Structure 1
């Protein structure tokens, strides 16, 4: 059944007159009459009773009119939605957040995006380490990622948003917990709670690098995958940790956040997307995220 015949039928039904319906449709009356007859033949139903004086819709026509209007409204809605998708105003986006950004940026950034882009549905994934986010971008599970560089993938574009220092997390009962800024060397004998090693966490590498610059390598380490677990372990007195400064937004009783004395290692936070991302919807989000977070320095990804 052709959509235009449904449009013709609705016009005739609403005008109750072939001449007026033809004017409304900007076509001649004879072709309109032929199209209605063709529709009736296709359906095997009489939709109108025609006399020399008037056109009356039949009961079958009345029922079809209700459905026909719904069909045309649905088509209009579909066209509008397609246009909005093409303009990046409607659709679904999956965003991943690295562990520390989960507690700092996730709540506020999601609120901003929902307010500024109300037609966008957000699927949000927190506590994702950088390698996992890169894989999720490559396989299409994620559309955007807030992660910690470096990213070694030729399929990913990376834009640095900000840098932040590492800070210490100590148990409340630790002798240095109330002494102000902590010298990293003074933690050399403590057990360190860390993110996963073996190239699974950028922050792990930054922590080890900072410790080596302070003259030691932690003798004992306990690895955990999630920031909340890491801070909880510290609060329980199982060790100390170094984390990006933004983790201090995660408040857990028994854990104290302290700056490191002197210079310290910094880590970067970046926004990552696929190279040549075709979605106009995804393209709208980075600019808003960059404006909200601050920064926006694009870096080159190593090509292999």
Structure 2
């Protein structure tokens, strides 16, 4: 039976055309090398080399066999190198899901950082994903890292807080409230609103209903949108105001202005989530990049996590 060692031995002899030099190259004695080459020729039932006291030469069969042997050995070596790259997180595939507001503020810098630090990793981005859809995708293995808004109530999913985003109000540039430097939640009483899809069951939708309830009223939601870009476009069309995380302001849509919402403590966390078990080296390396890019120059306090 022909084994890889036979191919390696034959390649050395064929390239050196000298058993002594080939044996030195392989760090073995010459007699066992000669025996292995004869065994290979018996297995193939063909002469690969002509030998004399003065020289070693390839036969026509040996010349053809050498080309195939080199291709096989190089392929085996390449497979080993690739396996090691994947095993250490240097090469592979990564799918990242991202909630709408973070799509514009995080993804451009994150993709550039991943490209620079993990150039052999193919990165697939799924932006404008609502949190429930992201969590379903993580459970199914379709998304490796999910950037979303909490809560994450699933023991199978590990998460950690990356940062807290202040809430702001997106409003038509010509709206009367646009003349104010800041807005209070009570200023939204009676205003037409554009909300996140889900009739209050989305993360942002639920938050809006909660903070309005604390102020003693219910928001007047006239329109809903699943994508943040669509929501802001509806605001630009004059269909209502919207309460959004501050990074949404990165989405520069003509006719829309943004004002901070008071008190400044009103905010929502951005977390990164992945499966609790079986994280690949690629995911672990990418997670370190995500932490650094998203947290930026935040203080050194340890954020919440279920890790």
Name the residue aligned to 1:252: 253
Distance 1:45 1:200, change over 3 A: farther
Give the 5 Å matches for 1:1-304: 1-197=2-198, 201-263=202-264, 265-294=266-295, 297-300=303-306
Between stretches 34-43 and 153-162, larger displacement belongs to 34-43
Distance 1:28 1:263, change over 3 A: closer
Distance 1:258 1:67, change over 3 A: same
Distance 1:300 1:18, change over 3 A: closer
Between stretches 159-168 and 112-121, larger displacement belongs to 112-121
Distance 1:153 1:133, change over 3 A: same
Considering only aligned residues, what root-mean-square deviation do their CA atoms show, in Å?
A: 1.9
SS at match of 1:92: strand
Report the CA distance between 1:175 and its aligned residue. Answer: 1.9
Task: Provide the rounded CA distance (Å) in 1 between the counterparts of 2:53 and 2:113.
Answer: 63
Report the CA distance between 1:143 and its aligned residue. Answer: 1.0
Aligned residues: 301
Distance 1:220 1:290, change over 3 A: closer
Write out the 4+ residue segments of structure 1 that deviate beyond 6 Å after TM superposition. Answer: none
SS at match of 1:215: coil
Between stretches 67-76 and 129-138, larger displacement belongs to 67-76
Structure 2: any 5+ residue segments left out of the alignment? none
